[in-house]
């Protein structure tokens, strides 16, 4: 007989004012389960987790927590004000039989001493203290709301390892794809007030979600109606996203290949590149620059060249000097030594993680337009503010909403909208992924792909760097910075992080040395037929999408089902077949691209 769950939420409903937030949401967590709770910003994830923890009440439904079990909840905004120091706050979370040693161990791993006073803590330090308090008792159930917020990459990777070592049941809310992929075993998707569950890891979630949405879209078509919730399809854009992903993957592969070739040829091409600087080809050119503050070396003999169109990712632990490096790239501070040259006619737009540039009392529309009209000037074109808002997933009725009432994710989207409306050829983003949900991250990646200028981004989000960076500048400690072609995963491979795997392979080879070895498999090169197929596939995909749009327009016609059921049925069947053909063609395109890269 299966053991009862540690926690069970059934048919939970919550109404805010007259607006239902949750309507029939459910959550069941058993011992040792690792569940990731995902959904858009504002969908009610944190509210559901607070209900699970017993922090807040609910309007309808039932909550069960197994008697005698222990639970710890990590809130997004912890309150340490009642404690003398951080150690006292963390230790207060221990139970009667818990080990005091865990407190010191966790504080040390999270970069805290325990002597810090709550009043002097930054937001990030308060979050790390709360994380230590939550993990110290090793409870039966952990409820973690955005545990990676304000953590740098080493701390995120440590946290992954720590959570994997625990036997506790877990419910995680996070927008960090790589974190979810590495930890999840089941997914709960909160969408429009209700929950759906997938008993697979996050690696399978987005494909499953898209299939659910596509089936829902087809059901709407069968009923002869337009999509009832247009903004949801605007957010997910299932078919359109697949098409854009093909384009984005091809463009990023091209950029990375150019960066690898350029880096390889840097020594002999140096003079020619400098000669072309006046044309705007070079954005920043550093040669052996160094920067120190007192005895602390921030940058030590860095040589770096940023070219027009580059997507440079910058990573490093907190305190490594990323902000100092950015200021030198922007010409705001000078290096102590070395040669620095910035490109001509740079128009820079920066997006910082503090979001201090937003005025809480100003409406969303006035923030975008400056309050002078209902038009937003984007590049050389004027657009109505409502249409521009929709590009960033805002509803028309939010136009007069004060900025101060927006969620963290919505404020992040608004800052992106403001930044991308300004004329620029250099976009500098400091932790742009903070508080953004998965769909907004997709939107941001697409916008960066389409941005015609140069992008410099500081981020601790490994998946985001893999998706957008053409090269990655990584801190190696003691002021040493090294540029690697590609994103975060490419950086690890080039850095030699796979040493352990190589050693394991050598041991296995030595063990099997007495056995005759099979011939090593050779990487197969593309045949002429496959090369031709790859060249023609892009055009075929475009043709299929054009045909798809034609049949979507037919089905969108008012009264089609009532006036011509046969035509409606034929068009629906053709549309479904086209979806299948497009998916098969795009999957084949990706297979051939991988084979092309391997060759």
- Assigned token pair, 75: 């809130």
Q: Which residues contact 333 (CB under 8 A, 6 or more apart)?
A: 291, 324, 327
Q: Which among 455, 552, 545, 488 is positioned nearest to 247, based on CA atoms?
A: 545
Q: Quick check: 583 pLDDT over 50?
A: yes
Q: Quick check: 308 pLDDT over 80?
A: yes
CB 91 within 8 A of CB 103: yes
How buried is residue 81: exposed, middle or buried, by Cβ count under 10 Å (0-12/13-18/19+)?
Answer: exposed
Average of per-residue pLDDT across 330-353: 84
Choice between 305 and 526, residue whose per-residue pLDDT is larger: 305
Q: Identify whether residues 192 and 54 lie together within a single domain.
A: yes
Q: 10 Å Cβ neighbour count for 229?
A: 11
Q: Identify whether residues 332 and 477 lie together within a single domain.
A: yes
Q: Identify whether residues 199 and 335 lie together within a single domain.
A: no
Q: Quick check: 232 pLDDT over 50?
A: no
Q: Identify whether residues 476 and 557 lie together within a single domain.
A: no
Distance CA 555, CA 569 (A): 9
How does DSSP assign 369-430, residue by residue? HTTS-SEEEETTEEEEHHHHHHHTT--GGGTT-BGGGS-HHHHHHHHHHHHHHS--SEEEEE
- Assigned token pair, 249: 């993957």
pLDDT given at position 131: 94
Q: pLDDT over 70 for what percent of the chain?
A: 80
Please, which pLDDT band fits residue 234 given cuts at 50, 70 and 90? very low
- Assigned token pair, 101: 């040693």
Domain count, the chain: 3
Least confident of 186-190, 250-254, 387-391, 490-494: 250-254
* 513 is a domain residue: no
Q: Which among 201, 148, 154 is positioned nearest to 175, based on CA atoms?
A: 148
Please, which pLDDT band fits residue 452 given cuts at 50, 70 and 90? confident
Please, which pLDDT band fits residue 97 given cuts at 50, 70 and 90? confident
* 512 is a domain residue: no
Q: Identify whether residues 29 and 165 lie together within a single domain.
A: yes
Q: Which residues contact 455 (CB under 8 A, 6 or more apart)?
A: 310, 311, 312, 426, 427, 428, 429, 448, 468
Q: Identify whether residues 481 and 532 lie together within a single domain.
A: no
Distance CA 528, CA 72 (A): 60
pLDDT given at position 116: 93
Please tell me what DSSP assigns to residue 524.
Answer: P
389-411 residue pLDDT tens: 888 878 888 889 898 888 777 78
Average pLDDT for the chain: 80
Distance CA 352, CA 430 (A): 5
Q: Identify whether residues 71 and 140 lie together within a single domain.
A: yes
* 221 is a domain residue: no
521-557 residue pLDDT tens: 444 566 777 777 877 887 787 788 788 778 777 876 7
Q: Identify whether residues 260 and 140 lie together within a single domain.
A: no
Q: What is the CATH number of the domain that holds 281?
A: 3.40.50.300
pLDDT given at position 251: 63
423-434 residue pLDDT tens: 888 889 888 887
Average of per-residue pLDDT across 15-20: 80
How buried is residue 516: exposed, middle or buried, by Cβ count under 10 Å (0-12/13-18/19+)?
Answer: exposed
Question: Which helix (H) or strand (E) covers residue 30, if one does?
Answer: none
pLDDT given at position 228: 44
pLDDT given at position 390: 83
Q: Which among 241, 253, 205 is positioned nearest to 586, based on CA atoms?
A: 241
* 40 is a domain residue: yes
- pTM attached to this predicted model: 0.68
- Assigned token pair, 472: 């990655």
Distance CA 495, CA 510 (A): 25
Distance CA 168, CA 567 (A): 56
Q: Identify whether residues 324 and 235 lie together within a single domain.
A: yes
Q: pLDDT over 90 for what percent of the chain?
A: 30
152-185 residue pLDDT tens: 888 899 999 999 999 999 999 998 999 999 999 9
Q: Which of 154, 178, 210 corresponds to the end of one domain?
A: 210
Please, which pLDDT band fits residue 48 given cuts at 50, 70 and 90? very high
Choice between 589 and 368, residue whose per-residue pLDDT is larger: 368
Average of per-residue pLDDT across 127-132: 92
Q: Quick check: 133 pLDDT over 60?
A: yes
**Helix 528-556 vs helix 565-598: angle between axes, to the nearest 10 degrees?**
150
- Range picked from 286-290, 387-391, 446-450, 579-583 for highest mean pLDDT: 286-290
Distance CA 112, CA 109 (A): 8
Q: Identify whether residues 204 and 236 lie together within a single domain.
A: no
Q: Quick check: 216 pLDDT over 90?
A: no
Q: Quick check: 14 pLDDT over 90?
A: yes
Q: Identify whether residues 114 and 12 lie together within a single domain.
A: yes
Q: Which among 330, 349, 361 is positioned nearest to 418, based on CA atoms?
A: 349
Q: Quick check: 57 pLDDT over 90?
A: yes
* 82 is a domain residue: yes
pLDDT given at position 318: 81
Q: What is the CATH number of the domain that holds 568?
A: 1.10.287.380
- Assigned token pair, 2: 């299966």
Q: Which residue range is the domain that position 343 belongs to?
A: 230-347+454-497
* 371 is a domain residue: no
Average of per-residue pLDDT across 129-134: 94
Q: Which of 478, 497, 516 corresponds to the end of one domain?
A: 497
Please tell me what DSSP assigns to residue 84.
Answer: S
pLDDT given at position 122: 80
Distance CA 233, CA 236 (A): 5
pLDDT given at position 229: 46
* 403 is a domain residue: no
Q: Identify whether residues 187 and 311 lie together within a single domain.
A: no
Please, which pLDDT band fits residue 56 given cuts at 50, 70 and 90? very high
Helix (H, G, I), strand (E, B), or coil: what is residue 324? helix
pLDDT given at position 507: 56
Q: Which residue has the tokens 């440079």?
A: 312
Q: Quick check: 276 pLDDT over 50?
A: no
pLDDT given at position 352: 65
Q: Quick check: 503 pLDDT over 80?
A: no
Please tell me what DSSP assigns to residue 211.
Answer: H
* 395 is a domain residue: no
Q: Which residue has the tokens 């979001």?
A: 355
Q: Which among 192, 145, 155 is positioned nearest to 37, based on CA atoms?
A: 145
Q: Quick check: 30 pLDDT over 90?
A: yes
Q: Quick check: 356 pLDDT over 50?
A: yes
């Amino acid at each position: 007989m299966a053991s009862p769950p540690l926690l069970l939420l059934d048919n939970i409903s919550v109404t805010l004012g007259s607006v239902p937030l949750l309507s029939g949401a459910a959550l069941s967590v058993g011992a040792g389960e690792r569940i990731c709770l995902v959904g858009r910003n504002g969908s009610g994830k944190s509210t559901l987790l607070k209900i699970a923890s017993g922090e807040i009440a609910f309007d309808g439904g039932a909550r069960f927590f197994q008697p005698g079990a222990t639970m710890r909840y990590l809130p997004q905004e912890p309150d340490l004000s009642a404690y003398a120091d951080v150690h006292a706050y963390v230790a207060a979370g221990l139970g009667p039989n818990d080990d005091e040693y865990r407190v010191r161990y966790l504080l040390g791993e999270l970069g805290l001493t325990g002597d810090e006073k709550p009043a002097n803590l930054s937001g990030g330090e308060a979050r790390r203290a709360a994380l230590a308090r939550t993990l110290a008792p090793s409870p039966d159930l952990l409820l973690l709301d955005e545990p990676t917020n304000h953590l740098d990459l080493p701390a995120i990777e440590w946290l992954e390892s720590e959570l994997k070592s625990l036997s506790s049941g877990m419910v995680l809310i996070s927008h960090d794809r790589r974190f979810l992929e590495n930890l999840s075993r089941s997914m709960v998707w909160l969408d429009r007030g209700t929950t759906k569950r997938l008993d697979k890891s996050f690696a399978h979630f987005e494909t499953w979600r898209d299939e659910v949405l596509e089936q829902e879209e087809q059901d709407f078509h069968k009923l002869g109606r337009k999509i009832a919730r247009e903004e949801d399809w605007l957010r997910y854009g299932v078919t359109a996203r697949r098409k854009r992903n093909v384009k984005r993957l091809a463009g990023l592969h091209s950029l990375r290949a150019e960066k690898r070739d350029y880096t390889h040829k840097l020594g002999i091409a140096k003079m020619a590149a400098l000669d072309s600087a006046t044309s705007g080809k070079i954005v920043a050119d550093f040669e052996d620059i160094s920067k120190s503050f007192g005895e602390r070396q921030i940058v030590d003999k860095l040589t770096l060249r940023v070219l027009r169109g580059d997507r440079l990712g910058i990573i490093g632990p907190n305190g490594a000097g990323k902000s100092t490096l950015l200021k030198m790239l922007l010409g705001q501070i000078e290096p102590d030594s070395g040669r620095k040259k910035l490109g001509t006619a740079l128009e820079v737009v920066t997006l910082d993680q503090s979001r201090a540039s937003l005025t809480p009392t100003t409406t969303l529309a006035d923030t975008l337009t400056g309050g002078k009209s209902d038009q937003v000037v984007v590049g050389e074109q004027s657009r109505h503010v409502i249409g521009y808002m929709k590009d960033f997933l805002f509803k028309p009725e939010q136009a007069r909403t004060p900025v101060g009432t927006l969620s963290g994710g919505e404020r992040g989207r608004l800052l992106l909208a403001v930044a991308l409306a300004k004329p620029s050829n250099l976009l500098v983003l400091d932790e742009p992924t903070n508080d953004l949900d998965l769909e907004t991250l997709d939107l941001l990646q697409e916008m960066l792909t389409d941005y015609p200028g140069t992008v410099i981004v500081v981020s601790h989000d490994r998946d985001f760097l893999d998706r957008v960076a053409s090269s990655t500048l990584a801190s190696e400690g003691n002021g040493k910075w090294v540029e690697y072609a590609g994103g975060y995963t490419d950086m690890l491979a080039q850095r030699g992080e796979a040493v352990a795997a190589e050693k394991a392979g050598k041991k296995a080879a030595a063990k099997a040395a007495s056995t005759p070895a099979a011939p090593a498999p050779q990487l197969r090169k593309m045949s002429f037929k496959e090369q031709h197929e790859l060249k023609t596939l892009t055009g075929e995909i475009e043709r299929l999408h054009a045909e798809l749009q034609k049949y979507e327009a037919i089905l969108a016609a008012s009264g089609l089902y009532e006036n011509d059921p046969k035509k409606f049925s034929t068009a629906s069947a053709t549309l479904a077949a086209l979806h299948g053909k497009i998916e098969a063609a795009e999957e084949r395109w990706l297979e051939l691209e991988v084979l092309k890269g391997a060759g």
